[in-house]
Amino acid sequence: MTEPKKGRKLWRAIVVIGVLGVAGLVWMQSTASGSPAASPTPKPTPSAVKPGSTTPKPQPPDATQPTTPGEAKDDKVIDRLPYPGDPEAEAAYVADEDRRLVEVRTVDSLARWSKTSLNSPYRIATGSAYTLVLTPRREVYTIKDLLGLAPQTFIRQPDGGYLLSEHVVIQNGATLNLASSGGLTLRLASDDKGFVSIVNYGGVLNVQGANGRPVRITSWNRDTDGPDTLTNDGRSYIRSLGGQVRFRYAELSDLGFWSGRTGGLSLTGTDRPNSGSLDTLGETMRVGKRATKEREATKGATKPETTGTTLNGAGKNSLSQVLPAGKLPLPEVDIADPEYSYVSALIQNTTVKRNAFGLFAASANGLDIRDSKFDDSLVDGIVMHRYVTNAVIDSSTADGNAGDGFVLSRATTGIVLSEIEASRNHRNGLTMSGLPLADGPSATGSSLGSYGNNTVSNSKLVDNARYGVEVIGGTNIGVNANDLQGNDMGVVVRGGAEDVSVVGNRVTEPIRQGIAIRDGVTKSVITGNIVSGGNTSVYLRDSAATVQRNTLSDADSHAISLVGSVSETKVTENTISGRGPSAIDTKRAADVNMHRWKNDEGNWHDTTPFVVTLKRFLQPLTAMWLFLAALLIFTAARGARRIRRVVHPYADKSPVTDGRTLSAGSVPVSNENHLGAR
């Protein structure tokens, strides 16, 4: 084969190989477009929250945003266990209970309006059961008093316990003392014949046992001689509407149904106008009108009194005087008055188990909960629902509840949780929500402001099915020095929360992420934490936070992952070790200033496969230029390998030697021959 033909075939082969190579690279790039390692940086969507904004709005997760395995898109929905009762029937029972308590209040109001003396305890027929009303008096009501007041419905049983089969209401100024140093068992009738309750209506309920000899209160099925385990026909409960409650060395079990206020142990003030105050106002106006007429009929009453006329029986929190026109005096409010609408409570060394809600509190001030347990509830362990302020929960546990262990709902402020333990709950160990009660004009006219000033510290949150701690909105939240083991995620902060400190926590073996900050969180600090295991140690999305001086180890995807708009985020002085595609993942982040960050990544082992690395590097245009460069190099190298033979131009004119004539191509040429020819 001649030389020109060989050259043409070689060039054809090079061109074919080049075209196939470029096509293969383009195909690799297109198939890698869905891979997290090669995903292009997405443009921030218009709905994304800009870090640092003064009024961040929580946004739903972006379903189109690419994620790596285990990274925090809210793709793992874990709700509380299904409620075992009958929702329709139980809601009707809740409404019946509300109506019964209104009847009790109405009777009391009518008695005061008509000046009927109800100084002694009395009984009201309400629905299918009676309600025993304990009226105000200086002496404390005791077990002995109940035996005398309700001999047919408060019965001592052979084992020494007591069975209560009618409702009890404690009025303002009355105190019921369920106490015994030797222990006490109180059974509240609860079966298909009906259920009973103990409701403190502004008075004092004192349940006092002793160490090793508690006061035991439970629902009781009279047909089976055991606790009532069904809620579909209602179940006995204890509730305080205002007033004061004290539980020491008590055990409450199998109480409550469906709603928070009938949930088992319920502490609720009132956030609505006090009807008693309205009654007193009406009485004040009536008596004032009569007093004015009497004064006008008196000859000496020519000058109006400037201090007003005092009215007997008027409440302290109402208009207690008939006043002249002019400047009104400032009203006096005495928060120690029994009619004050907030409830306060001390719960200490108390065990609550298998209630609908372990403890439900709303409109409460000064709750003190210590050394107590709230386990195996049908809904949540402890719920601070609305307007709970200045509460302390210390050295208490919530284990195995169907929902969350502890819940701080919206409009709760000044809550301090210390040395609590939440484990094996079906949702979160602790949920803290500081979201506003409304996002615009509303029927109740609620404020648009966020809530907060809540902290959890020195606590243990273990093996909860969802998150160890979840912070949703709010401001000035502290999650400090806690031990979080297991859990789907350790700490999750979201919903536009502001000024959140996640400091000094130990997060061990989360299923997905150790600490996740996402969806509009601003002005927050994640520092001094030790996170080991999981897919990603710290995940931050569309938020602004300082991630500093954390120790992150043994993640199998990324130590730190940044997604979306994170321009005001700072990641520095972290000690990182482990194995995975990258120590700090910024492929999906916008406006990242990594050149200012100083992190120790020396012990991170990059496990990215060679093919993935090649996909990252070989973009189509890059591959084309590389091919052209390789082609030029190959051509130059091939030309350099050719051996050029120098032939004398007049070789065929050489003299004949040895009787033969040399061909032109067989005569070597040297410098000497050139010189000789000249």
CATH of the domain at 119: 2.160.20.10
Residues 167 and 245 in one domain: yes
Contacts of 432 (CB under 8 A, 6+ apart): 408, 454, 456, 469, 470, 471, 472, 474, 477
3-state secondary structure labels for all residues of 382-430? EEECCCCEEEEEECCEEECCCCCCEEECCCCEEEEEECCEEECCCCCCE
Residues 657 and 612 in one domain: no
Residues 194 and 283 in one domain: yes
Domain membership of residue 233 (yes or no) is: yes
Residue with tokens 């940086």: 41
Residues 33 and 130 in one domain: no
Residues 162 and 174 in one domain: yes
Domain count, the chain: 3
Residues 131 and 224 in one domain: yes
Q: Are 256 and 237 in contact (CB under 8 A)?
A: yes
134 token code pair = 């304990």
CA angle 201, 203, 209 (to 5 degrees): 110
Domain membership of residue 600 (yes or no) is: no
pLDDT averaged over consecutive 10-residue blocks of the chain (678 residues)?
A: 54 59 53 39 37 37 39 63 94 95 88 76 88 95 96 95 97 94 94 96 95 97 96 97 95 97 92 39 46 54 41 37 53 38 89 98 94 98 94 97 97 96 98 92 84 96 97 97 97 96 97 96 97 96 96 95 93 93 90 81 80 58 72 70 61 61 50 46
Residues 178 and 209 in one domain: yes
Residue 76 CA from chain centroid, whole number: 15
pLDDT at 652: 65
Extended beta strands in 118-259, E state: 122-126, 129-134, 154-156, 162-164, 167-170, 175-179, 184-191, 194-195, 197-200, 204-208, 215-220, 237-241, 243-253
Domain membership of residue 570 (yes or no) is: no
Q: Which of 382, 402, 422 is the last residue of a domain?
A: 402
Q: Are 307 and 401 in contact (CB under 8 A)?
A: no
Q: Side chain identity at 436, as an amino acid letter? A: P
pLDDT at 114: 72
143 token code pair = 């077990």
Residues 16 and 158 in one domain: no
Residues 197 and 248 in one domain: yes
Domain membership of residue 259 (yes or no) is: yes
Residues 30 and 108 in one domain: no
Contacts of 132 (CB under 8 A, 6+ apart): 121, 122, 123, 149, 150, 153, 166, 167, 168, 169
Cα distance between residue 167 and residue 103, in whole Å: 13
The boundaries of the domain holding residue 654 are 645-678
Domain membership of residue 473 (yes or no) is: no
Phi-psi region of 363 (alpha: psi -120 to 50; beta: other; left: phi over 0): left
Q: Are 490 and 468 in contact (CB under 8 A)?
A: yes
Domain membership of residue 24 (yes or no) is: yes
Q: Which uninterrupted H or E stretch holds 108? A: helix 87-113
Cα distance between residue 71 and residue 582, in whole Å: 14
CA angle 249, 252, 258 (to 5 degrees): 150
What is the 8-class DSSP label of residue 55? Answer: S
pLDDT at 78: 79
Residues 246 and 392 in one domain: yes
Instruction: Count CB atoms within 10 A of the CB of residue 110.
Output: 12
Cα distance between residue 195 and residue 192, in whole Å: 8
Domain membership of residue 81 (yes or no) is: no
Domain membership of residue 389 (yes or no) is: yes
Residues 101 and 31 in one domain: no
Taking Cα atoms as reference points, which of 366, 291, 363 lies closest to residue 321? 291
Q: Side chain identity at 155, as an amino acid letter? A: I
